[in-house]
């Protein structure tokens, strides 16, 4: 084995898989170790099982709800998607956003994109 100091300084999630049909929701993710200065990937890691925090699972429930809302708008006619709901109300953007992306924020409190 060779040892040394890592040349990566970040981690990026590339894929997730979710199965809501199991008694305990199954969530797995595949992430890469990256060097943010060069963009190079230096390895992969997986996360699954019981490693997810309660906060992550709450956000997953929010994501599921948003997906169901969008699918309902397409397939159930009148189910209303989040985007349609915002367009319907002229002051929708004056209130704090309530989607999953707006709840994920950096340590400096800047919203995620």
**Rounded to an integer, what distance in angstroms lies between the CA atom of residue 21 and that of residue 25?**
7
Say whether 12 sits in a helix, a strand or coil.
strand
On whether residue 111 sits in a domain, the answer given is no
Number of domains in the chain: 2
Domain shared by 37 and 60, yes or no: no
Full residue range of the structural domain in which residue 15 is found: 1-50
Per-residue pLDDT tens digits for 79-97: 555 554 544 433 432 334 4
On whether residue 110 sits in a domain, the answer given is no
Domain shared by 98 and 75, yes or no: yes
Sign of the dihedral defined by the CA atoms of residues 93, 95, 97, 98, in that order: negative
Domain shared by 46 and 63, yes or no: no
On whether residue 113 sits in a domain, the answer given is no
Per-residue pLDDT tens digits for 6-61: 999 999 999 999 999 988 899 999 999 999 999 999 999 999 988 999 999 999 99
Contact assessment for residue 31 and residue 49, using Cβ atoms and an 8 Å cutoff: no
DSSP lists the bridge partners of residue 11 as 33
Domain shared by 38 and 27, yes or no: yes
Residue 69 has pLDDT above 90, yes or no: yes
Residue 66 exposure: Cα atoms within 13 Å on the Cβ side? 13
């Amino acid at each position: 084995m060779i040892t040394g100091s890592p040349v990566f300084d970040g981690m990026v999630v590339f894929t997730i898989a979710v199965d809501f049909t199991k008694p305990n929701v199954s969530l797995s993710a595949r992430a890469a170790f990256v060097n943010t200065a060069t963009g190079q990937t230096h390895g992969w890691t997986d996360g699954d099982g019981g490693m997810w925090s309660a906060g992550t699972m709450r956000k997953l429930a929010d994501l599921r709800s948003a997906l169901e809302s969008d699918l309902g708008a397409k397939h159930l006619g009148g189910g209303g998607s989040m985007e349609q709901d915002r367009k319907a109300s002229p002051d929708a953007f004056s209130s704090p956003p309530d989607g999953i992306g707006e709840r994920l924020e950096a340590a400096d409190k800047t919203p995620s994109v």
